[in-house]
Structure 1
Amino acid sequence: MIQQPPTLFPEITNTVRGRFYIVAGIISVVMAVASIAIFWWIFYTITPAPAPPLQNPIYVNYTQEPTDYISAESLAAMNAYIQANPQPQAVQVLKGMTTAQISAYMVAQVSGGLKVDCSYCHNIANFAQQDGYPNAAKKVTARKMMLMSADLNQNYTAKLPASVGGYQITCATCHNGKAAGLEPYPIEIMNTLPNDWRLPLELDYPGGLVVTGRKDVSNHEVEQNQFAMYHMNVSMGQGCTFCHNARYFPSYEIAQKNHSIIMLQMTKHIQETYVAPGGRIADGIMAGKSPSCWLCHQGANIPPGAAKPGQVPAVLSSTP
């Protein structure tokens, strides 16, 4: 048997070993305490990610927040009015609906689309009152807006195929939660465009922007075409091939190109009917703002705030 040589200075070795264990133990305890402290510090100081905003079931990509824009006083007054008047009084647009149905539409789509209280347009002491109170003019404008949305749904969105989704225009489509409506040409989307540029709605569609392959168009017309295409790209959040065959731009084989013509015709109709001086019901309805693709689309293919099928009252829908 081979014997291990005797350890030199055994008392020194044992002392070192003992100190090592003591130091290692202290370090382990400190690290354990520090780990626990750091865990609880992180737990209590880091704020969890907020829940996504609750989406309104009536509209596309439109949140229900804030939810306190209608006061309890207005809701109580409305309920009292419904009980006292099951059939509506002084109705001019929403005919064929009960008071309860009209009130539900007003709460969900008029107040909900603008995020305003009932008193924004009504005297809540008498919802049927037509004039003689501070906001009576807004009720008149609201009626014109309803007539405009009915006009656009019945004469333009009705032309879009069912495959597009059957979405309808209503208050939130253009207002998107803002009482004054959205800015149709905000500076932040103009980018390389002149700030005073507007869609060439004086042109006829189809054909107004067709310049590809032609030699009889001016540089100005080509520039206007490119400006309009850039505006559509930004407004829809899509590239050129969303509507065009990149190998042959003049073709109409992609469905969205035909849809865009209907929308350009609608935009021109809004300009001529509701904005231009002498328009049929232009006074005050668009505050002089020329319409644009951005006004409804806001960077999305399907406009945020577009009403889902079946949500708009029949009288205002594509199929009245």
Structure 2
Amino acid sequence: MKVSLFSAPKILPLAAVGLAAMIVAGCERPPPESEQRGYRGVGMVAYVNPRILAAQHRANVPPAVQPPAVPVPIAAGTVYKNLQVLGDVPLTEFTRLMLALTEWVVPKDQWVAGQGCVYCHDLADMAADTKYQKVVSRSMITMTQRANAAWGDHVAPTGVTCYTCHRGNAIPKYVWTTNPGRAASGQGASGQNRLSAVPAFASLPYDPMTTFFDKDTTIAITPATALSPGWNDTINTKKTEWTYALMMYMSRSLGVGCNHCHNSRQFADWSQSQLTRTKAWYAIRMVREINHAFVMPLSDILPATRKGPLGDPMRVGCETCHQGINKPLFGEPMLKDYPVLGQPSPAVVPTPDVVPEPAVVPAAVQTDAEVLNAPGGKVTGEAAVQEGLM
């Protein structure tokens, strides 16, 4: 006699256990904590799991600060040759910064005879640009100084250092190159519907970084008026999906939800957005400048191991610095201990391979001081561009 699967006495308890396991698997432990980020009733709440947060804090401990240097009236450029960027830095502070750079960038397994200097330098002639790593590091130091000196609307007051991105790795863990998709196999590519973690495995374009970080592409989803003339070239369903892909990437990069920057009752309205949206506006343009002015010009000297399948250099994005946290290293102000990296460099900024069109700053994108002094303590200015533009 056949016994029904559901009538077997031992099956029901097992089924109950399995169902309970499925339900529990969809829950978090311990219960997430919430933080109100906007007006009550608009759902602008950030959720944090204390267990995950604790693990993130353990993984984002900056290295110990190098001991202070004894001040000396001797510039490093008077002692060492070919110092194109840091020649005017006091000798002892220059040495201190080199020690820090070695710890931040050079993995311990690449130290030769206990020295990390050889990763960039030819010990037979320390001044020579024999190794491409030295030329790259010079550009990266200039880039860091530029970010701190010119992009304070995004990085201030914390600032950035080489460690912000590298974390003890020669190549930052979270860099990107153009994704060729199916085009690499000759099948053609639509730029969409390919399994990718970038848009959180959604059915969205899988390479928004090339679209928005390599180009001055409009970021928008909704026009201000119905069927407004001229918007067909700016906003349509296809371009909206590209924007959503970028937003998914940014959300994952910072470990936050949409309401970290936006009010979900009206995503496009700057006056209802958080100040973090303003910082994100500057961040996108800072990333574009970094890639065009400091990374792409190095393409000719970089080996294939530093490039993608299409031969383009590894570039930076939001995740490069943030690494899953809304403030890199939880806002640890490392720059204050290495002020040299916050000074405008006397070196000539590399010429961008492609100069993006100058960004028109919306009136709604104001500094924190302007916003705090505005009525209601929020962005209230009329946008210089139509609503919906990022």
Q: Work out which structure has the larger RCO, using CA pairs closer than 8 Å and 6 or more positions apart in sequence.
A: 1
Contact 1:174 1:296 in 2 (8 A): yes
Please list the CA deviations of residues 154-211 of structure 1 after superposition, one character each: whole Å capped at 9, or x if unmatched: 222x234xxx751222211221211122232496555315685132225547xx2122
Residue equivalent to 1:107: 99
TM-score of the aligned structures, taking structure 1 as reference length: 0.61
- Say whether residues 1:312 and 2:306 are aligned partners: no
Counterpart residue type for residue 244 of structure 2: Q
Residue equivalent to 1:211: 221
Counterpart residue type for residue 292 of structure 2: E
| Aligned residues between the structures | 232
Q: CA deviation at 1:138?
A: 1.9
- Say whether residues 1:149 and 2:144 are aligned partners: yes
CA distance in 2, matches of 1:275, 1:112: 19
- Say whether residues 1:198 and 2:198 are aligned partners: no
Please list the CA deviations of residues 64-87 of structure 1 after superposition, one character each: whole Å capped at 9, or x if unmatched: 49xxxxxxxxxxxxxxxxxxx995
CA distance in 1, matches of 2:207, 2:91: 45
CA distance in 1, matches of 2:205, 2:260: 26
Counterpart residue type for residue 183 of structure 1: Y
CA distance in 2, matches of 1:284, 1:190: 31
CA distance in 2, matches of 1:303, 1:64: 14
CA-based RMSD of the aligned residues comes to: 3.5
Counterpart residue type for residue 211 of structure 1: I
Name the CA shift for 1:112/1:142 in 2 (closer, same or farther; >3 Å).
Answer: same
Contact 1:173 1:307 in 2 (8 A): no
Aligned to 1:269, the other structure's residue is in SS state helix
Contact 1:168 1:318 in 2 (8 A): no
Q: Where in structure 1 are there 5+ consecutive unaligned residues? A: 1-51, 66-84
Residue equivalent to 2:244: 226
The structure whose residues are more often helix, as a share, is 1
Aligned to 1:291, the other structure's residue is in SS state coil
CA distance in 1, matches of 2:317, 2:89: 33
Name the % identity.
Answer: 23
> Of the candidates 82, 86, 89, which is equivalent to residue 94 of structure 1?
86
Residue equivalent to 2:317: 292
> Of the candidates 125, 139, 153, which is equivalent to residue 159 of structure 1?
153
Please list the CA deviations of residues 115-157 of structure 1 after superposition, one character each: whole Å capped at 9, or x if unmatched: 451221124566x43256xxx332222111111111222222x
Residue equivalent to 1:173: 164
CA distance in 2, matches of 1:184, 1:221: 24
Q: CA deviation at 1:255?
A: 0.7
Aligned to 1:169, the other structure's residue is in SS state coil
Name the CA shift for 1:196/1:230 in 2 (closer, same or farther; >3 Å).
Answer: closer
Contact 2:205 2:241 in 1 (8 A): no
Q: CA deviation at 1:298?
A: 0.9
CA distance in 2, matches of 1:290, 1:86: 30
Contact 1:166 1:308 in 2 (8 A): no
Q: Where in structure 2 are there 5+ consecutive unaligned residues? A: 1-53, 65-75, 109-115, 178-195, 308-312, 346-390
TM-score of the aligned structures, taking structure 2 as reference length: 0.51
